[in-house]
Amino acid sequence: MKALNHNLLSGVAAIAVLTVAQPALAQSADNEVSGGGNDGEIVVTARFKEETLQDVPQAISAFDERTLLKSAARDLTDLAPTTPNVSIQPVATFSNSAAIYIRGLGAQGIESTEESPVGVSIDGVYVTRPVATMLDTFDMERVEVLRGPQGTSFGKNSLAGGIATYSKNPSGNFGVEAMATAGNYGRLDARVAVDVPLIRDQLALRVVAGQESLGGYFRNRVNGQSIGGQDRFSVRGTLLFTPSESLSVNIKGWWLNDRSSAPGGDAAPDSTKLLAIVFGFQEPNDGAFTIGRDFPANHDTDQYGLIGTINAKMGAVNLTSITGYIKTDDFNDSDFDQSEKFFFPTFRVQSHRQFSQELRLATDFSEMDGMMSRVNLVLGGYYMKQSFEMSQAFPTLPVLLAPSLQFGSQDFVTQDNTAKALFAQGIFGLTDKLNITLGVRQSWEDKSYFRDPTGTLLSPAFFNTRSVVKSLEFMENLANTNFSAGKAFKDSYSRNRATFKAGIDYKINPDLMVYAGWSQGYKGGGYGARSASMVTAGPTADNTSELFEAGMKGDFLDGKLRLNLTGFVTKFKELEFGVFIPNPAVASGQETAQLNVGAATTKGIEFEASFKATDNLRLNANIGYLDSEYTDFCTDLNGPSASTTVPTSACGSVTKLVNGTYLVDEDYTHLKLVRAPKWTAQVGGEYTVPLGEAGDLTARVSMLYRSTWYSTVLNDVAGKTGNFALVDGSLGWESADGRFRAMIWGKNLTNKTWVSALTPTAQFFIQRFYGPPRTFGMTVGAKF
């Protein structure tokens, strides 16, 4: 497959070379900024209408194609440094999945029974599953990062924020874009986009293909091979039909084929864990990027997607229909103990499907006179159906706890989720300068959950091949049998909730706006994908958020200086986390409990500035301050414990389990929120040297600082990181006509070693992961 992908890209690249003699039909990069805008302004649609970034009265950052190229962005992780109070990293054990935190709240799980507090959308379709959300930024028209809860204007509700991505559409002219990158650690990326007009001014096609390859940052001390490499191929096609000025039909389809290996990590030293007690293993002191792995670690993902968007103008009303279908299949091997001991390997097979439909009616009264010309109304409905099945096989369980069995084991979980909503939003211009925004959303959600922790025993024990793993169909049939025998359990719920939004903004002058707003968000309660009983399975209560925000956006010094300032307070209730806890009553000796841990409040200030000091020198800075704390955190994080008498809890409840042990709630309000540094800051600059007809030469440098933060709910010391700076830089050339470019770039230039994630796994071991070391390379691109 890899050879086929490379051959395909080579063929498309050859087409690009043959078109050198063709006229330059593509627009220059300066005119390709997010669909328009004056002087390179980015146009966004965060409020269901096209408006410049500076006209949106809420905290939002946006990146257009040119911005992404400047920063040598490869995926969503490259957006976080320039966005205050935002953290985006790969999920520790799944490199193609994004762990996104906004203003101190997010998620780093990969279970489809759970939803992230931060939503991700692709061309208007909300992605309900965390896997395969680490989106490639090539051929993106723009990316919008919305900070704060999104209730009335972001597809499905989002508790803490959202990231909306929009791919480029056909231009209507013939054109080819090609980009290639070569770097250290075996990085080799190639991407090609081809625009083909089929019927002049009516039907056009755009096809995009990309191959991403990386050898991996880590070396396996067992065999000397690289670990954590990437092998990802994707293709996307967009068909745009515009039979008239009042009607457009846009159909996008894509296929992602990911055959990467699991990210590298090691076992953090801990003499109290079974990895040390039973196997006598301690991680050697041979550097962060030398690790041991004795088990296959292949992460295979296939994803298919189809999105249909219809826009119809009907006088003063615009109709928008967005239909989306996404199917994702995974088969992953993982060496969970992160050592060369055959202790805790796993196989994981799962299939996920989602269908969504959104309909919106938006008014356009711009041709009217008086106050009505300043009214913008949106009415809409949303429907989403999600279903998935997942089975996990353990080659060493339960043989580690009962050696006489000589079997491995495999379990099963499935869930269906249906979400419906009606929403409305109104923007009312009381005067030419003063606007009021009101929004409401009524949501209904149903979930059906089926968990079989018993599953089946697998033979032989200590197997290391996928051929032993049972299919999803087999495991679902077995789960039904086990349910009849009382060894599996089911549950479901139906809930509804209304969320509201209100805001006011005032234009002091055409270049300065002040605003204030209040909004609500929520995330439906979830179930535990790996729970052992209904006691720890959930469902959890709905998570809710309430945001109070005020700010200003201004351009000064004839547009040379831009200053944006935001202050906010967000109150979260019924926060939900999946937590590993010991449980001697189950075969693995531990389980993941899905828990509502309580409430939290985050307060902060966000400052964004850019300054065009001269025609050739540009400076920028963003600073985020975050004061976050749990106001209520009462739960059991230690697992079941025995007691001769019924214990008591000082803050919560006591739950008696079937084996006579107890879960006792304790107060943990002293803990810090995960990935919530008090300070984040980035400063940078770029200087351009005009070369006349030879183009421009631009040097760029940036420095990112984050203060101390924790990567685990329990604030494990081994997961404490931060309080350091990362430096990136580049030197780029662009031709005078914008058709050709080349850039030498480097990231983490000081080669800082830092812990990016930590996953304590009950009494077994602690998985520790690191951020990328120093990387560098060269990117070249051309447009014809």
Q: Is the pLDDT of residue 153 over 80?
A: no
pLDDT in tens, 554-563: 999 999 999 9
For residues 682-702, give the mean pLDDT: 96
Give the span between the Cα atoms of 211 and 232, in whole angstroms.
6
Q: Is the pLDDT of residue 273 over 80?
A: yes
Who has greater pLDDT, 671 or 25? 671
Q: Is the pLDDT of residue 129 over 90?
A: no
pLDDT in tens, 353-401: 999 999 999 998 888 888 888 999 999 999 999 999 999 999 998 777 6
Predicted pLDDT at 37: 36
Who has greater pLDDT, 760 or 431? 431
Report which listed range, 5-9, 53-57, 92-96, 527-531, is most confident: 53-57
For residues 416-429, give the mean pLDDT: 95
For residues 168-195, give the mean pLDDT: 96
Q: Is the pLDDT of residue 652 over 90?
A: no
> CB within 8 A of 18, min separation 6: which ones?
none
Predicted pLDDT at 438: 96
Confidence grade of residue 84 (pLDDT, cut at 50, 70, 90): very high
If residue 120 lies in a helix (H) or strand (E), which one and from where to where? strand 118-122
For residues 57-69, give the mean pLDDT: 90
Which strand ranges, in their side-by-side order, compose the sheet holding 105-107? 86-91, 94-102, 105-107
Who has greater pLDDT, 89 or 1? 89
Peptide bond into 510 cis (omega under 30): no
Confidence grade of residue 594 (pLDDT, cut at 50, 70, 90): confident
For residues 323-345, give the mean pLDDT: 93
8 Å CB contact between 362 and 49:
yes
Predicted pLDDT at 132: 64
Q: Is the pLDDT of residue 346 over 70?
A: yes
Q: What is the mean pLDDT of the chain?
A: 89
For residues 159-164, give the mean pLDDT: 90
Confidence grade of residue 588 (pLDDT, cut at 50, 70, 90): low
Give the span between the Cα atoms of 120 and 587, in whole angstroms.
36
Within 13 Å, how many C-alpha atoms sit on residue 314's CB side? 10
Q: Is the pLDDT of residue 94 over 80?
A: no
For residues 637-656, give the mean pLDDT: 85
For residues 41-45, give the mean pLDDT: 87
Q: Is the pLDDT of residue 471 over 50?
A: yes
Residue 327 identity (one-letter amino acid):
K
Predicted pLDDT at 656: 82
8 Å CB contact between 513 and 554:
yes
Who has greater pLDDT, 246 or 658? 246
Q: Give, rounded to a whole angstrom, the gap between the first and last alpha carbons of the chain.
A: 29
Q: Is the pLDDT of residue 259 over 90?
A: yes
Give the span between the Cα atoms of 719 and 722, in whole angstroms.
10
Give the span between the Cα atoms of 600 and 584, in whole angstroms.
32
Check residue 80 and give left, alpha or beta (phi > 0: left; psi -120 to 50: alpha): alpha
Predicted pLDDT at 662: 86
Give the span between the Cα atoms of 771 and 724, in whole angstroms.
13
Q: Is the pLDDT of residue 177 over 90?
A: yes
Predicted pLDDT at 28: 32
Residue 136 identity (one-letter amino acid):
D
Predicted pLDDT at 582: 65
Confidence grade of residue 509 (pLDDT, cut at 50, 70, 90): very high
For residues 279-294, give the mean pLDDT: 92
pLDDT in tens, 700-726: 999 999 999 999 888 999 999 999 999
For residues 509-529, give the mean pLDDT: 94
What percent of the chain has a predicted confidence (pLDDT) above 90?
68
- Least confident window among 300-309, 531-540, 702-711: 531-540
For residues 329-350, give the mean pLDDT: 92
List, as one string, the DSSP characters of 581-614: EE-TTSTTSEEEEEEEEEEEEEEEEEEEEEEE-S
Chain position carrying tokens 């092998």: 231
Q: Is the pLDDT of residue 151 over 90?
A: no
- Least confident window among 13-22, 571-580, 603-612, 717-726: 13-22
Give the span between the Cα atoms of 533 and 451, in whole angstroms.
9
pLDDT in tens, 430-452: 999 999 999 999 999 999 999 99
Give the span between the Cα atoms of 59 and 55, in whole angstroms.
11
Predicted pLDDT at 653: 86
Confidence grade of residue 583 (pLDDT, cut at 50, 70, 90): low
Nearest to 100 by CA among 32, 173, 165, 19: 165
